[in-house]
Amino acid sequence: MIKPSTPTPNHLKSLKLSLFDQVALHIFVPILFHYLPNCECNNEGITERCDKLQKSLAETLTKFYPVAGRLSKDNLSIHCNGEGVEYVESKVNADLAEFLHEGLKMELLNDFLPTDLPSSLLLRIQVNIFSCGGLVIGINISHIIADGFTLGSFVKEWAHISQTGTSKGRLPSFSHLPLVFPPRALSGHQVSPPSKIGPKIVTKSLCLML
């Protein structure tokens, strides 16, 4: 479990959800990032990279403090208690470049993502370490606390701190929307589960060479 590097201030300990968050499905949004090795990585180098990921993640959580909290039992607020996000590392006995060259194998992608999420947990991360030194980072984040923009902002901030050791200096705001659209009692309200996806699924893989 990775906790924020700095405790959450007392006045930020509780975050009310907006009405839109309240009626949203408590589903987890998965995303994968792959990083080919840029040099020959030995065990010491891989350990150093993973340590840097953990430390920079802890720094990032001080700004995105709600994701390190827990969803309340009534689903109306987030307890920003700094209990942390689940972080696990797994080893993959394969070469990442060869795996990507063979094309996407949808049945294997879920193995790179954290599973069995507790209902109150909001973020879980799995770092998959390939034998060549490449990494695949799998993220599962609750849609209640993060939309696509928030997830993108979180990943960019984490990457920036990991690369430079410094923050971008811009603090995200989590309290504006609940002020405009506060939560309310919705007796008998129940969000319908997502419809099942048919067997015809189209996927595209883009490889950006930087």
Instruction: Give the CA dihedral 24, 183, 60, 116, nearest 10 degrees.
Output: -40
Q: pLDDT tens digits, residue range 89-140?
A: 999 999 999 988 887 777 788 899 987 766 678 999 999 999 999 999 999 9
Q: What is the pTM of this model?
A: 0.82
C-alpha to C-alpha distance for 110 and 126, rounded to whole angstroms: 11
Which residue, among 122, 140, 135, has the nearest Cα to 30 in the 3D structure? 140
Cα(148)–Cα(139) distance, integer angstroms: 13
Q: What is the largest CA-CA distance in the chain?
A: 59
Query: What is the distance between the terminal CA atoms of the chain, rounded to a whole angstrom?
Result: 32
Torsion-angle region of 188 (φ positive above 0: left; ψ -120 to 50: alpha; else: beta): left
